[in-house]
Structure 1
């Protein structure tokens, strides 16, 4: 035993002497090269390659690290049995009801892509010093290490990392709070130096709750899905990845709810552009450049937001050629937003500064809009937000009264009467909602009052225009400051209903 300890002590002394001699004789750069060659010699016999993805590269956050973190958290929570570890971290963020699983520190998880197994390891170490004193880095250094078999790395690595980055961004978009932006007066900047101010977007409207013909909703949802999945198509076709929607119809028909439903369906942020606060075409372009991809840019009441008289004044000079948009400027572009500036905003070169954007215009008077503004390529989809049909009325009954179906003879009779008068009543979803909200705790009373309201509206619509105006005036006096909603989608014919047509992909489709 004594001889063994003597031998070990001798070996340690020889090692210490050799290390001292090694550091004394060889300069640091040569030592580093030898160690690198030594490491390369032994790793050349390994069957794997290892790739480190650190949380912070220099002073910048590594977006790929964040994408990997979200992707592995989703994989861990959806299929824990597929992991090669029995330890996962569980997290719930403030003001969130979602519980997420993640890869614990210094543990591994196995993933599969195109039939290949890949191993992830999460490593956390203590940061020794702060290199950049002007920016306080986290005390812990975090990174993911990906282990890939050498025979697979050439064809699997790049597609796999691209897939993870896309999936991570998709998960982020679906889980994080979406934002509602608005532009400030005169393009002034907020505390972050941005021309947009934002608040969390919490509008609850969805296509399920939207009071609209189901077939029409399905057409719109399919169009939105095709757009969101159409990156390769738009690139191949040489088109900017954007799409324009025009929502038109009387007030109270759900145009704002439609925009919220679109944002919730796609998971996009919403930019509510107030044109009356924009001072010039240049400022309009700057606002567009500061919008993010995967967003909906909204201009409500477009007919009231910009003076379109310049188009009418110049139309004779342009020989009614509505595609000569640049010729419509009046010379005061530096101090106002012109039609030409708006057209370039939606369909010019500047509109391609970014991708996956949807432009939405709304109006109560489509006949006031210049044809150049609403043609295909600018406003690709025209959606008429009309009065209540029986199908949309049933959606409102379900939303406010929980009304699905009934075996009650009285309620069945009320539904039959509603079906008979709803088309002739020409009543908006907003008016119907007000009746249902007032009586939401008493379903029979709500149905009775709704039948009475629709019947009265239907009778009024049969009256001559002059007599109808007298009735509306009496109602206004009785309601004080109340407003009677009437009129059609557009034009001077107050009793005319808007058509139920929508233009999709440049083709007119009857819905």
Structure 2
């Protein structure tokens, strides 16, 4: 053993002496070139290649780094033994990540990719308008050279797409609105945002199930149709018109659409927009994967008819006068929005500025809308929000009372089927009856049946009153006709007496 340690010490001494000689004889440039040469030789014979993805690209954030971090979080939460845990702003979920200098193996189409999270201390702080973090972070991707085309052409795009899906899933929905006077927020954006917590879903929406399935299929077909819209040369957008009596669930439908697709909502208040240019700027600042809502478009601003003469006043609330064929709003109210200005963004040259956006218009009176708004390409799908039907009542009974159709007596089911269509009650009215009596399920059902029957009787009374008014009108017209007949007869009789 003593001889072994003596030989090892001698060998280390020779190695140190040789290193000193090399540093003395060979200049640093030559040593660097030799190291570089040996690295090239090593890489030439190696079957792997490496890609470095840094956290920052100069002073800008590298989006690919954030995407890889999100993408690997789903795998890291299952296979990792030492993980980092974070929660982003406006997010309702925790995100798992690789800890410092940890590795994870991923598989894509039969190809293996090794990811390593590299964290190093930054040596020196270079001059920058923004201070850089003390740690230099990044991911190193190791793959086989033969798999390089697949990784660069498909895998990285797949990572970005999956990361966006995870981000949308974890991030809370936001509800935007344009403030009064078009003021900007601290970031220079013309929209104010609040978290969107509306619980409405298609499962809880009081509507015929077949109709809901049709709408959901249309929404999913739109969300998955990027390649179709690109191939056909159409802007990736779609328009929906929700019309029907008040209280039929138009706002709940919008919330259900947003929750189903995971989109944000932009509630556009047209009465706060004064010019077409301002409207265009607002719409340009909307993000992709969003729903732009204009509620009660027949009342918010006067787009009802473009053929009214100038100066004719429209009596809808908050609706200035129309001016000629352009559909512009009266200048006395300070507005100059035109119908063509709105249509140009929903279906004109500006419609391609942004992608994957849905326009939703609501109205209680579809007959007041200009036909130019109703055609396909602007309002592609017209959805009639009707009064409560029997399938909708069953959904409301399940939502508020937890009752299925089998839990009801046959006589109650028969009564509901008989009176629901005749009563023409809105889902909002039915919900109010159930909410007030939700602690007593039997009483709630009984009160609902009585309310429906009462509504039917009132409708019969109204119909009877209308019929009596029509009869009175006819009665008032009949004496007039009879008196004319008697007068003619009298005149004829007088003439006959004169002849005699």
Q: TM over 0.5, yes or no?
A: yes
| TM-aligned CA distance change 1:424 to 1:314, over 3 Å | same
SS at 2:308's partner residue?
helix
Name 1:9's counterpart in structure 2.
Answer: 13
SS at 2:242's partner residue?
strand
Residues 292 and 358, structure 2, Cα contact 8 Å, conserved in 1: yes
Residues 92 and 170, structure 2, Cα contact 8 Å, conserved in 1: no
SS at 2:245's partner residue?
coil
Name 1:396's counterpart in structure 2.
Answer: 396
Q: Which has the larger radius of gyration?
A: 2
1:301 has 2:296 as partner: yes
Aligned length: 449
Residues 304 and 368, structure 2, Cα contact 8 Å, conserved in 1: no
- How far has the Cα of 1:14 moved from its partner? 2.9
Name 1:184's counterpart in structure 2.
Answer: 179
Give matches, 1:171-320, under 5 Å.
Answer: 171-308=166-303, 311-313=306-308
| TM-aligned CA distance change 1:381 to 1:33, over 3 Å | farther
Distance 2:291 2:90 in 1: 25
| TM-aligned CA distance change 1:226 to 1:309, over 3 Å | closer
Unaligned 5+ segments in structure 2 are 311-323, 469-500
SS at 1:313's partner residue?
coil
Determine which of 415, 422, 425 is the counterpart of 1:427.
425
Distance 1:469 1:273 in 2: 43
Determine which of 110, 121, 134 is the counterpart of 2:129.
134
Distance 1:329 1:34 in 2: 77
Determine which of 444, 448, 470 is the counterpart of 2:442.
444
Residues 343 and 373, structure 1, Cα contact 8 Å, conserved in 2: yes
| TM-aligned CA distance change 1:32 to 1:202, over 3 Å | farther
Residues 106 and 114, structure 2, Cα contact 8 Å, conserved in 1: yes
Residues 460 and 468, structure 1, Cα contact 8 Å, conserved in 2: no
Alignment deviations for residues 209-261 of structure 1 (CA, whole Å, 9 cap, x no partner): 00011000000000000000000000000100000000001111000000000
Give matches, 1:143-162, under 5 Å.
Answer: 143-162=138-157
Bigger fraction of residues in helix:
2
Distance 1:136 1:441 in 2: 60
Kindly report the root-mean-square deviation, in angstroms, between the aligned alpha carbons of the 2 structures: 2.6
Distance 1:469 1:87 in 2: 80
Residues 270 and 300, structure 2, Cα contact 8 Å, conserved in 1: yes
Residues 310 and 339, structure 1, Cα contact 8 Å, conserved in 2: no
SS at 2:362's partner residue?
strand
Alignment deviations for residues 394-437 of structure 1 (CA, whole Å, 9 cap, x no partner): 1111111111244564xx43232112111101000111111111
Alignment deviations for residues 79-108 of structure 1 (CA, whole Å, 9 cap, x no partner): x3xx5x644445566896645433232222
Alignment deviations for residues 113-160 of structure 1 (CA, whole Å, 9 cap, x no partner): 111111111112222333245323333222111111111112332200
Residues 288 and 351, structure 1, Cα contact 8 Å, conserved in 2: no
Residues 306 and 337, structure 1, Cα contact 8 Å, conserved in 2: no
Name 2:492's counterpart in structure 1.
Answer: none
| TM-aligned CA distance change 1:15 to 1:352, over 3 Å | same
Name 1:374's counterpart in structure 2.
Answer: 374
| TM-aligned CA distance change 1:468 to 1:110, over 3 Å | farther
SS at 2:393's partner residue?
helix
Give matches, 1:331-346, under 5 Å.
Answer: 335-346=335-346
| TM-aligned CA distance change 1:230 to 1:152, over 3 Å | same
Residues 183 and 277, structure 1, Cα contact 8 Å, conserved in 2: yes
- How far has the Cα of 1:45 moved from its partner? 1.1
Residues 73 and 96, structure 2, Cα contact 8 Å, conserved in 1: yes
